[in-house]
């Protein structure tokens, strides 16, 4: 197998994986949109929630768009390599280039508007605490969602256990906190025990992101390298096909 044949095989295999990944993401996106009613119901019950939080509902559309884009990229790459179509290879190169430029622009925007993101998290935190104090222990949907979140992340409240003070659960259980706030404790979960054993869910998520910063950056750089390689291979095939047919 010569260099040209090897590039064709690599192009087909790489884009075959992209095509399958796109199909999977598209399926997940459609599933999220079909089951979005529960998310809408939850967000609608958060008092004083920032308007920007509604954009979370667009995750289904985002997944659908991303899956469709990957399907198109995978199709163009596979067929362009197998059929030696210069048109498909050129379209593949242009799309990958546009995606690469968009990713770089997105990274710049995130760095520049980081204070805006911090402000949004602050607004969300205020709304979440109000939500806990108003509905936890009384609204089964809100209570179940927070219980699941705290059990999964092994955390307590948004910031800490004090978020539950004056909540319906707190009043109905003789000023005690949910058992998730006192993991491993055999005594009632009161303020003293909760303060020494609980960590807020916001801090848990922040810690999770901080602990995996290197992995996140590494994945981002890996994707960028793959995109550059894909552009180089597609343009190499494009030029070889041109020279072969000349």
Print pLDDT tens along the chain (246 aa): 567 778 888 888 888 888 888 888 888 778 767 765 555 555 555 544 444 444 445 667 778 888 888 899 889 888 888 888 888 889 999 998 998 898 888 777 777 776 776 777 778 888 888 889 988 988 888 888 888 888 888 888 888 888 998 899 999 988 889 888 888 777 788 877 777 667 888 888 888 877 887 887 888 888 888 888 888 888 888 888 865 554
Residues 105 and 216 in one domain: yes
Residue 94's pLDDT is what?
92
Alpha-carbon gap, residue 237 to 231, rounded angstroms: 10
The DSSP H or E segment spanning 32 is helix 3-34
Tokens of 64: 């659908």
Q: Do 12 and 107 share a structural domain? A: yes
Report pLDDT for 197.
67
The answer on 82 and 21 residing in a single domain is: yes
Residues 38 and 105 in one domain: yes
Q: Clarify whether residues 63 and 160 are in a common domain.
A: no
Whether residue 238 sits in one domain with residue 153? no
Q: What is the helix (H) or strand (E) element at residue 60, kind and residue range? A: helix 59-82
Q: What is the pLDDT of residue 50?
A: 45
d(CA 217, CA 8): 30
- Containing structural domain, residue 108: 3-114+212-245
Q: Are residues 157 and 62 in the same domain?
A: no
pLDDT at site 167: 92
Q: pLDDT, tens digit, for every residue of 3-48?
A: 777 888 888 888 888 888 888 888 877 876 776 555 555 555 554 4
Do residue 97 and residue 200 come from a single domain?
no
What local confidence, expressed as pLDDT, does residue 49 receive? 47
Q: Give me the phi and psi of 47, to 5 degrees please.
A: -70, 135
Q: Residue 57 has what pLDDT? A: 52
Which of 122, 136, 46 lies closest to 54, judged by CA? Answer: 46
Q: pLDDT at position 54, please?
A: 47
Tokens in use for 39? 């998310």
Per the structure, the count of domains in the chain is 2
């Amino acid at each position: 197998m010569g260099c040209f044949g090897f590039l064709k095989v690599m192009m087909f295999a790489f884009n075959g994986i992209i095509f399958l990944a796109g199909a999977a993401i598209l399926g997940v996106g459609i599933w999220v949109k079909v089951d979005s009613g529960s998310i809408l119901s939850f967000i609608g019950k958060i008092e004083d929630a920032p308007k920007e939080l509604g954009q979370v509902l667009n995750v289904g559309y985002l997944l659908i768009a991303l899956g469709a884009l990957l399907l198109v990229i995978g199709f163009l790459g596979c067929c362009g390599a197998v059929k030696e179509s210069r048109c498909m290879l050129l379209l593949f190169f242009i799309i990958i280039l546009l995606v690469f430029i968009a990713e770089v622009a997105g990274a710049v925007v995130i760095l520049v508007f980081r204070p805006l993101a911090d402000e949004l998290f602050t607004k969300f935190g205020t709304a979440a605490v109000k939500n806990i104090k108003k509905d936890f222990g009384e609204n089964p949907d809100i209570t179940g969602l927070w219980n699941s979140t705290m059990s999964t992340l092994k955390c307590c409240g948004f910031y800490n256990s004090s978020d539950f003070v004056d909540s319906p659960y707190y009043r109905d259980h003789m000023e005690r906190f949910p058992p998730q706030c006192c993991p491993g404790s055999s005594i009632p979960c009161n303020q003293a025990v909760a303060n020494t054993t609980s960590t807020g869910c916001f801090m848990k998520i922040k810690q999770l992101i901080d602990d995996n910063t290197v992995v996140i950056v590494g994945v981002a750089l890996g994707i960028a390298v793959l995109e550059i390689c894909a552009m180089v291979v597609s343009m190499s095939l494009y030029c070889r096909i041109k020279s072969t047919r000349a």
